[in-house]
Amino acid sequence: MSKRTKWDTKGDLDESKNLPIYQHKATLQQAVKDNSFLVVTGETGSGKTTQLPQYLHQAGFWSNGKIGITQPRRVAAITVAQRVSQEMHCSLGREVGYQVRFDDCTTQDTVVKYMTDGCLLREILADPVLSQYSVVILDEAHERSLNTDILLGLLKQTLSSPDKASKGRSVPLKVVVMSATLETDKLSVFLGGCPVFTIPGRTFPVTSKFSCAIGPKDTESSVYIKEVVKVALDVHTSEMAGDILVFLTDQQKQIFQPPPPGIRKCVVATNIAATSLTINGIKYIVDSGFVKQLNHNSRVGMDILEVVPISKSEALQRAGRAGRTSAGKCFRIYSPAFWEKCMPEYTVPEIQRTSLTAVILTLKCLGVHDVIRFPYLDRPEERFILEALKQLYQCDAIDRRGKVTRLGELMVEFPLPPGLTRALLQAASLGCEDLLLPVAAMLSVENIFIRPGHPEKQKEADKKHRQLGVQAGSCNDFTMLLSVFEKCKASDAPSAWCKDNYIHWRALKSAFSVETQLREILLRLQKKRDFPMEKFDGNKSELFRRCLCTGYFTNVARRSVGKVFCTMDGHGSMVHIHPSSTLFDQEAQLDWVIFHDLLVTSRIYIRTVCPIRYDWVKDLLPKLHEVDVYELSSVAREEVTDEEVAKWMTKETAKRQTEGSAEAVF
Ligand code: CDP
Ligand code: MG
């Protein structure tokens, strides 16, 4: 670390001295010095996230390496870093910075670094002992995000083996885990019985009222949105002064702006506001009882964003937000029966409800081959681990022995779903990455198409979007994304172009930046000597779609009757093309298609669709069924000998020869 004078932190914003954590500054500084692992808990708003890193900085930890703080959510990492840089009187990105996927706001000077847990996971991949850091703080551990859970397991494994832990480090790494009170005992036991430091709370009573608007049978999202708006307005007209926090499932808005005097602020938020962010002045809570959650849907065999009832512990967290500065009230728009029958006790950890592909691949690249016996805080069901192994095998990221392939090592570098990465690398090996990079970027940002509420405007927007689709030549949703990207990029006035075409300029701007970053990763990998290259003689449209097939053959569907398609992945789900697709209403002309994702409502819809020819997936489809997950996972347990593997390889070669299938590029 470069030499520099310790800068003055005396000018802390004065309010920070009033936070409950301030009384315990010296004790906390000492506790981190004395322990490898420390669990810290305390009410939301007590100052854990903003203050502890500063205390550790003041205690001089920075001289041995960065102080890293992870957050499960991007927005929390960014806003907290902004806040702390103000408190420390430095510009953001200097001593205090943040890093989230596709947005690195740090410099050589950064010693207090806020980041998403996904970013730290990537760093640990390149540097298992995190030699750049003196302390890492895993914040919001109670949220049990997939990445935080994995980091916990990895750090436990590393620090509990002294050989591994000290390799490449001058002083031992310190790990602080911060969590809401509920999970602390479990965390402490998991981390070998480490001490738990509780910051005494300072909260006011909150009274909670149920309503009968939502009963156990109401799960349609339109019902609760209407009710939430009604209750919020009631509170506004009949309750005393005090701001309102409304928990819905939509995007958070400008929540930190103070309202003008005499005006009541009404904040609409997702469950992010339950713990990650503190908003001052909130006295009333309106709780919809729902949350948007990524769940593994076993009906269709994929991860899907779903609106589901929150857990009881989440409901208590939400109510607690009203009692920060004075006594508060919480209005629940659901009935006691809904609470009893529909709401689980605790939120199921992400690791137990989503697909594990990215994590399993990361673990394997880290040298954790036995992914079944890895120390998980809560073990995912074995069938989900097997499912992940199967998907990784299908995209050639691991071989039949469960070992990472050359391709897998390249794939892990990309912060994208494995199928998309596979398609991108295929394109790169055929020299047509320019077609796939923009598409991958567009699929990584929020929806770019604007559909206004006004019916007339809606018609106009649909017309404009259709025109973009037609101009794209071969008409499918992937080329549509490519065309929007290229057209806007080529335009002299991109923001005006977006407005004219009902496209979100902000989303498209992030897509431009994502594309650049993906391109940089790819360029770095292509410089390596053994990056595979191949030739292709065919037309560009076919080339593009064939590349997509290598990654998306797992998402292939064939039209059965009318507008109904049937997926080929063994689930045999009956699906419809989503109305937002350029191919909607043209089903009659289609036979085989691939798709990016599914949307499950009363029907199952496929979104971002592309017609393909059976020929292009013919050789890949057997991979959907021929996988023997037992073999994959028993190798993962390292119980299979080399001779047995050699036997499979011979079997496999023989099979390929009889089928006459072409060798894959990788
Ligand atoms: O992490 P914990 O919930 O214990 O508290 P914190 O996030 O460190 O918040 C401490 C104080 O800083 C609260 O009063 C917040 O309102 C304030 N804060 C803020 O004003 N702006 C932010 N972006 C983050 C925190
Ligand atoms: Mg916090």
Is 222's pLDDT higher than 80?
Answer: no
Is 4's pLDDT higher than 50?
Answer: no
**Atom from ligand 1 closest to the CA of residue 52:** 8
The alpha carbon of 261 and the centre of ligand 1 are apart by a number of angstroms equal to 22
The alpha carbon of 57 and the centre of ligand 2 are apart by a number of angstroms equal to 17
Q: Is the CB of 49 under 6 A from ligand 1?
A: yes
Which residues lie below 8 Å from residue 53, measured CB to CB, with a gap of 6+?
A: 67, 69, 84, 112, 114, 137
The alpha carbon of 466 and the centre of ligand 2 are apart by a number of angstroms equal to 45
The alpha carbon of 507 and the centre of ligand 1 are apart by a number of angstroms equal to 28
- With H, G, I as helix, E, B as strand and everything else as coil, classify residue 398: strand
**Atom from ligand 1 closest to the CA of residue 46:** 4
The more confident residue out of 610 and 528 is: 610
Q: Which helix (H) or strand (E) holds 67?
A: strand 66-71
Query: In 3D, which of 404, 336, 422 has the Cα closest to residue 368?
Result: 404
Which band of pLDDT confidence, cut at 50, 70 and 90, is reported for residue 401? confident
* pLDDT confidence of residue 663: 31
Query: In this structure, which long-range contacts are made by residues 564-568, counting pairs with CB atoms below 8 Å and at least 24 apart in sequence?
Result: 565/593, 565/606, 567/300, 568/621, 568/624
Give the mean model confidence (pLDDT) for residues 525-551.
85
Give the mean model confidence (pLDDT) for residues 342-349.
87
Q: For residues 41 and 486, what is the distance between their CA atoms, to the nearest angstrom?
A: 49
Q: Is the CB of 45 under 6 A from ligand 1?
A: yes
* pLDDT confidence of residue 302: 60
Q: Which of 105-109, 265-269, 420-424, 437-441 has the lowest mean pLDDT?
A: 265-269
pLDDT digit string (tens) for 58-74?
999 999 999 999 999 99
Q: Is the CB of 69 under 6 A from ligand 1?
A: no
Q: Which ligand approaches the C-alpha of residue 46 most closely?
A: 1
Nearest CA to ligand 1 atom 14: 45
Which residues lie below 8 Å from residue 444, measured CB to CB, with a gap of 6+?
A: 102, 416, 511, 514
The alpha carbon of 521 and the centre of ligand 1 are apart by a number of angstroms equal to 35
Is 393's pLDDT higher than 70?
Answer: yes
Q: For residues 49 and 461, what is the distance between their CA atoms, to the nearest angstrom?
A: 43
Q: Is the CB of 24 under 6 A from ligand 1?
A: no
Task: Check if the beta carbon of residue 42 is closer than 8 Å to that of residue 199.
Answer: yes
The alpha carbon of 375 and the centre of ligand 1 are apart by a number of angstroms equal to 32
Q: Is the CB of 179 under 6 A from ligand 1?
A: no
Residue among 16, 25, 49, 50 whose CB has most ligand 1 atoms within 8 A, to mutate? 50
Is 298's pLDDT higher than 70?
Answer: no
The more confident residue out of 221 and 468 is: 468
**Atom from ligand 1 closest to the CA of residue 43:** 4
The more confident residue out of 307 and 104 is: 104
Which band of pLDDT confidence, cut at 50, 70 and 90, is reported for residue 177? very high
The alpha carbon of 348 and the centre of ligand 2 are apart by a number of angstroms equal to 20
Give the mean model confidence (pLDDT) for residues 182-211.
89
**Atom from ligand 1 closest to the CA of residue 139:** 1
Task: Check if the beta carbon of residue 518 is closer than 8 Å to that of residue 438.
Answer: no
Q: What is the mean pLDDT of the chain?
A: 84
The alpha carbon of 518 and the centre of ligand 2 are apart by a number of angstroms equal to 31
Q: For residues 575 and 595, what is the distance between their CA atoms, to the nearest angstrom?
A: 11
Q: Is the CB of 44 under 6 A from ligand 1?
A: yes
Task: Check if the beta carbon of residue 442 is closer than 8 Å to that of residue 485.
Answer: yes
Q: Which amino acid is at 84?
A: V
Which band of pLDDT confidence, cut at 50, 70 and 90, is reported for residue 102? confident
* pLDDT confidence of residue 277: 64
* pLDDT confidence of residue 407: 92
Is 562's pLDDT higher than 80?
Answer: yes
pLDDT digit string (tens) for 352-374?
877 788 889 988 887 788 888 89
* Percentage with pLDDT > 70 across the chain: 86
Q: Is the CB of 516 under 6 A from ligand 1?
A: no
Q: Is the CB of 621 under 6 A from ligand 1?
A: no
**Atom from ligand 1 closest to the CA of residue 324:** 14
Nearest CA to ligand 1 atom 18: 278
Q: Between the CA atoms of 528, 531, 535 and 541, what dihedral angle is there, to the nearest 10 degrees? A: -100
Q: Which ligand approaches the C-alpha of residue 321 most closely?
A: 1
φ and ψ at 140, to 5 degrees?
55, 40
Residue among 41, 140, 278, 325 whose CB has most ligand 1 atoms within 8 A, to mutate? 278
- With H, G, I as helix, E, B as strand and everything else as coil, classify residue 348: coil
The alpha carbon of 80 and the centre of ligand 2 are apart by a number of angstroms equal to 9
Which band of pLDDT confidence, cut at 50, 70 and 90, is reported for residue 666? very low
Q: For residues 107 and 97, what is the distance between their CA atoms, to the nearest angstrom?
A: 8
Q: Is the CB of 48 under 6 A from ligand 1?
A: yes
Nearest CA to ligand 1 atom 16: 278
Query: In 3D, which of 550, 554, 557 has the Cα closest to residue 578?
Result: 557
Q: Is the CB of 50 under 6 A from ligand 1?
A: yes
Q: Is the CB of 41 under 6 A from ligand 1?
A: no
The alpha carbon of 566 and the centre of ligand 2 are apart by a number of angstroms equal to 46
pLDDT digit string (tens) for 118-143?
999 989 988 889 999 999 999 999 88
* Percentage with pLDDT > 90 across the chain: 47
Q: For residues 115 and 98, what is the distance between their CA atoms, to the nearest angstrom?
A: 5
- With H, G, I as helix, E, B as strand and everything else as coil, classify residue 112: strand
The alpha carbon of 278 and the centre of ligand 1 are apart by a number of angstroms equal to 5
Q: Is the CB of 181 under 6 A from ligand 1?
A: no
* pLDDT confidence of residue 3: 38
Is 640's pLDDT higher than 80?
Answer: no
If you search the block for the tokens 């854990």, which residue do you land on?
Answer: 48
Q: For residues 471 and 575, what is the distance between their CA atoms, to the nearest angstrom?
A: 27
Task: Check if the beta carbon of residue 287 is closer than 8 Å to that of residue 331.
Answer: yes
pTM of this structure: 0.74
User: How would you classify the pairing of strands 112-116 and 103-105?
Assistant: unpaired
Q: Between the CA atoms of 650, 656, 658 and 660, what dihedral angle is there, to the nearest 10 degrees? A: -150
Neighbours of ion ligand 2 (CB under 5 A): 48-49
* pLDDT confidence of residue 392: 92
Distance of CA 399 to the CA centre of its chain: 26
**Atom from ligand 1 closest to the CA of residue 21:** 4
The alpha carbon of 109 and the centre of ligand 2 are apart by a number of angstroms equal to 24
Q: For residues 113 and 500, what is the distance between their CA atoms, to the nearest angstrom?
A: 40
Q: Is the CB of 323 under 6 A from ligand 1?
A: no
φ and ψ at 594, to 5 degrees?
-115, 160
> What single-letter DSSP state applies at residue 22?
G
The alpha carbon of 338 and the centre of ligand 2 are apart by a number of angstroms equal to 30
pLDDT digit string (tens) for 421-436?
999 999 999 999 999 9
Query: In 3D, which of 600, 608, 501, 496 has the Cα closest to residue 548?
Result: 608
Q: Is the CB of 664 under 6 A from ligand 1?
A: no
The alpha carbon of 77 and the centre of ligand 1 are apart by a number of angstroms equal to 12
* pLDDT confidence of residue 259: 53
pLDDT digit string (tens) for 244-288?
888 877 843 334 445 556 667 777 776 665 565 667 788 999 998
Q: For residues 148 and 154, what is the distance between their CA atoms, to the nearest angstrom?
A: 10
Is 332's pLDDT higher than 70?
Answer: yes
Which band of pLDDT confidence, cut at 50, 70 and 90, is reported for residue 592? very high
Nearest CA to ligand 1 atom 21: 83
The DSSP string of 175-208 is: EEEEE-GGGHHHHHHHTTS--EEEEPP----EEE
* pLDDT confidence of residue 189: 95
* pLDDT confidence of residue 261: 61
The alpha carbon of 279 and the centre of ligand 1 are apart by a number of angstroms equal to 8
Q: Is the CB of 71 under 6 A from ligand 1?
A: no
Give the mean model confidence (pLDDT) for residues 313-322.
86
Task: Check if the beta carbon of residue 628 is closer than 8 Å to that of residue 495.
Answer: no
